[in-house]
Amino acid sequence: MDPLDDVFSAMRVQSALYARLETTAPWGLSLAGGQSARFGLVVRGHCWLSVEELEHPIALIAGDCYVLARGTPYILRDDLNTPTVSCTQVVRDKIGGVVELGGGGAPATIVCGWFNFDQAGAQPLIDLIPPVLHVRMDQARTETLQATLQLLALETAAPDLGSGIVVSRLADIIFVQAIRAHVAAMSAHEAGWLAALRDRKIGQAVRAMHRDIARPWTVETLAATAGLSRSAFAARFKACVGESPLEYLTHWRMYRASSLLRQQNNSLSQIASAVGYQSEVAFSKAFKRATGSPPGGYRRGERLATA
Q: How is the chain split into domains, by residue range? A: 3-185, 194-306
Q: How far does Cα 44 stand from its chain's mean position? A: 26
Note the pLDDT of residue 14: 67
Q: How far does Cα 180 stand from its chain's mean position? A: 10
Q: Are strands 46-51 and 15-24 parallel, antiparallel or unpaired?
A: unpaired
Q: What gap in Å lies between CA 117 and CA 107, rounded to an integer?
A: 33
* pLDDT tens for each residue of 158-186: 767 777 677 777 777 878 888 888 887 77
* pLDDT tens for each residue of 244-292: 999 999 999 999 999 999 887 889 999 999 999 999 999 999 999 999 9
Which of the 8 DSSP states describes residue 70?
Answer: T
Give the model's confidence band at 93: pLDDT under 50 very low, under 70 low, under 90 confident, else very high: low
The correct CATH number of 3-185 out of 1.10.3720.10, 3.40.50.2300, 1.10.10.60, 2.60.120.280 is 2.60.120.280
Note the pLDDT of residue 92: 63
Give the model's confidence band at 151: pLDDT under 50 very low, under 70 low, under 90 confident, else very high: confident
Looking at per-residue pLDDT, the higher value among 140 and 236 belongs to 236
Least confident stretch, 44-48, 144-148, 225-229, 237-241 = 144-148
Note the pLDDT of residue 201: 95
In CATH, 194-306 is 1.20.1110.10? no
Note the pLDDT of residue 285: 95
Q: Are strands 107-116 and 15-24 parallel, antiparallel or unpaired?
A: antiparallel
Walk across the sheet containing 98-102 and list its strands. 98-102, 15-24, 107-116, 37-44, 65-68, 133-135
Handedness of CA 195, 199, 200, 206 (dihedral sign): negative
| Burial class of 156 by CB neighbour count within 10 A (0 to 12, 13 to 18, 19+) | buried
Q: Are 77 and 84 a contacting pair, CB within 8 Å?
A: yes
In the predicted structure, residue 20 carries a pLDDT above the cut 90: no
Q: What gap in Å lies between CA 93 and CA 101, rounded to an integer?
A: 15
pTM, two decimals, is: 0.79
Give the model's confidence band at 64: pLDDT under 50 very low, under 70 low, under 90 confident, else very high: confident
Three-state DSSP class for residue 55: coil
Q: Amino acid letter at 102?
A: G
Number of H helices and E strands in the chain, helices first, is: 13, 11
